[in-house]
Amino acid sequence: MQNPRGLRAAALTATAVLLSALVAGCGGDAPKDGDLTAQNLAWKDCPAPSESEGGGAAPSPLPEGAQWQCATMKAPLDWSKPKGDTIDIALIRAQASGPGKRIGSLIFNFGGPGGSGVSTLPSFGPDYAKLRTRYDLVSFDPRGVGRSAGVRCESDAQLDRYFQQDAMPDNRAEQNAFLKNTKQFNAGCEKNSAKILPHVRTTDAARDMDLMRQVLGDSKIHYFGISYGTELGGVYAHLFPQHVGRAVLDAVVDPTETPEQSSLGQARGFQLAMDNFARACVSDKATKCPIGNSAQDVENRIAALLKKLDSRPIPGLFPRQLTQTAATNGIAQALYSKELWQPLTEGLQQAYAGDGRILMVLSDAMNGRSQNGEYSNLTSANVAINCADEKQRYDTAYVERKLPEFRAASPLFGDFLAWSMLSCTDWPVAGAAEHADVSAPGSAKILVVGNTGDPATPYAGARKMVDALGKGVGVELTWKGEGHGAYGSGSDCVDSTVNAYLLHGTVPRDGKVCS
């Protein structure tokens, strides 16, 4: 469970270790006069994703044969020194197909923070076919992610041990071990990535996006942000309101919350999704629910499984065992999408019989681990960006005081999310702010899409984003659905509303509801 922001489950891919060098063939040269807005991008056919981006094969051509193209954009390492050292920002695009006049580039961020846009966008290419008629589809690895100066904290073997730890400690000895592992992870980030850590804030990524807009030749930015990408979009609108064109924010992060409030909201959100999963299982009249006789029985049996795994893990993916932490993580992963409810049911059946393989596969997907045992830099980037953004630093005593509130919010996920608040303890870089500033007076209309069943970015965040953007900017669209995100999740109402806005500039009435 990425803390405290969610990553859209459908965007998770097989992953592997960080490559120190950029993949050949995706380059570009910065102008010698230091004006990065004048740089020319050398677009070429994309290679296979680097291991830090998740590995795997080069992106397949789009259905009509169009090729994905990759390039590298130079950006300042430190935006306070715009003519100083530079870093490479990895980009990917599919050019507009027509018919219809090209509007410009539509830039995507799929969340995390820490998700690679270069490896994720091709997996959604067919879903965005209508949008590609009038836009170049563009995404990128934000700074600190993948091939964009990716943060590296620990080796694959160290990460295996890190994710096998007890992240829900019950006594002082377990607490001390958890704190030791967290401190070791954070020290590894400083040892291996000290140069980039102070420069991975969301404000830095937003400035990269405005440079991207100019390098791509667009007078306005057109943007589609999902999950953490909604926060990035809101911060961009705050910094550059005059450059906002058509922007969609889907699966919306509440920009007013502290990390504690966000984690508590996620506890409630995942508990709601679990309640909905359990009720759906027992309400299917065609087949008997194989994991419980009632919704409460389903949840009681899951709670009993997790309690048992705390002291007696079961075989997972050899040689690793399915621990209480891994099982909790895997269950949470499955709640990101209704399409994963059936694998979750099968995984629970297996686990009750002493086989933890399916739940461990789900947990590995959440953590960015591929089948060959290699990790992307998803977790490293997630922690680095969150800790660079968030000023708050919590300690053990504070978490202990808050545990009853978290457990009341979610008997299943409360402890996990409460203890995750310690991820930035001992972080080597100070956090930027109490919470993101997304106020954007003067911005064009921004379409904000909330899903009532969203576990990772609870529905209330959509209205909070609309209010924070300011009067006359945010327009709320609600979907009464399940899973993380709304567009492309099966609602013709949502898809047609978003398409009409992006393709034709048709702004729906604020408060429109899609059932």
Structure tokens given for 59: 């992106």
Sequence-distant (6+) residues with CB within 8 A of 411 are 271, 299, 303
Residue of 454, 489, 491, 495 marked active site? 454
- CB-side exposure of 508: number of CA atoms within 13 Å? 23
Spatial contact of 398 and 386, defined as CB atoms under 8 Å apart: no
Find, among 273, 255, 297, 305, the residue nearest to 436 by Cα: 255
Residue of 50, 52, 227, 262 marked active site? 227
Amino acid (one-letter) located at 237: A
222 is catalytic: no
Residue of 199, 222, 243, 484 marked active site? 484
Sequence-distant (6+) residues with CB within 8 A of 332 are 1, 270, 366, 413, 416, 455
The shares of helix, strand and coil residues in the chain, as percent rounded to the nearest 5, are 45, 15, 40
Spatial contact of 234 and 255, defined as CB atoms under 8 Å apart: yes
Unique residue bearing structure tokens 């953004």: 389
Amino acid (one-letter) located at 318: F
Tell me how far apart the alpha carbons of residues 312 and 216 are, in angstroms, rounded to a whole number: 55
Cα torsion through 366, 367, 372, 377, rounded to 10: 130
Length of the chain: 515
Structure tokens given for 180: 């030791």
Amino acid (one-letter) located at 194: A
* DSSP E strand stretches across 77-176: 86-94, 104-109, 135-140
Peptide bond into 142 cis (omega under 30): no
515 is catalytic: no
Structure tokens given for 382: 């997630």
484 is catalytic: yes
Q: Is 98 exposed, middle or buried (0-12, 13-18, 19+ CB in 10 A)?
A: exposed
Tell me how far apart the alpha carbons of residues 277 and 342 are, in angstroms, rounded to a whole number: 10
Q: Which residues sit opposite 7 in a β-bridge?
A: 111
Find, among 441, 507, 439, the residue nearest to 476 by Cα: 507
- How crowded is residue 242: how many other Cβ atoms within 10 Å of its Cβ? 10
Residues forming the active site: 227, 454, 484
